[in-house]
Amino acid sequence: METLMSLLVGLFFTIGTYLILSKNLLRIILGTSIITHGVHLLILTMGGLKNGGPPLLGESFAAFTDSLPQALILTSIVINFAVTALFLVLSYRAYKALGTVDVEQLREVDNE
């Protein structure tokens, strides 16, 4: 299962990197989002996949699943959500002000 997850994480990173290297701003933003999702899966895998019961008092399992990675992912999802929202709004604003979402053309915007 861990191997499968690792491959999936690799796939996410590949797609994300491909999108970030494209010229369209929207694709770039989606690329960062996909990479972050890859990172979340990585944290989950690294913390050890399900290998015990839920870590609750009163349950009688021999082993408990580590709940910390899930807490980390939850925090990270919230942060990623906020950043992506801000990034999208800013790119929309940039599109209205600069008239393009092509990064090649953004480079030519004069410095005034």
Q: Which two tokens stand for residue 94?
A: 């940039």
Q: Which of 54, 79, 81, 102 binds other proteins (CB under 8 A)?
A: 79
Asked if 19 is part of the footprint of other proteins (rule: CB under 8 A), the reply reads: no
Asked if 26 is part of the footprint of other proteins (rule: CB under 8 A), the reply reads: no
- φ/ψ of residue 57, rounded to 5: -65, 145
How many alpha carbons lie under 13 Å from residue 60 in its C-beta half-sphere?
0
Asked if 28 is part of the footprint of other proteins (rule: CB under 8 A), the reply reads: yes
Asked if 98 is part of the footprint of other proteins (rule: CB under 8 A), the reply reads: yes
Place of tokens 């990623």: 80
Place of tokens 């910390």: 68
Asked if 93 is part of the footprint of other proteins (rule: CB under 8 A), the reply reads: yes
Asked if 42 is part of the footprint of other proteins (rule: CB under 8 A), the reply reads: yes
Asked if 32 is part of the footprint of other proteins (rule: CB under 8 A), the reply reads: yes
Residue ranges of alpha helices (H) inside the chain are 2-20, 25-46, 68-98, 103-107
- CA distance linking residue 41 with residue 87, whole number of Å: 22
What residues line the site for other proteins (CB under 8 A)?
Answer: 20, 25, 28, 32, 35-36, 38-39, 42-43, 45-48, 68-69, 72, 75-76, 79, 82-83, 86-87, 90-91, 93-94, 97-98, 106, 109-112
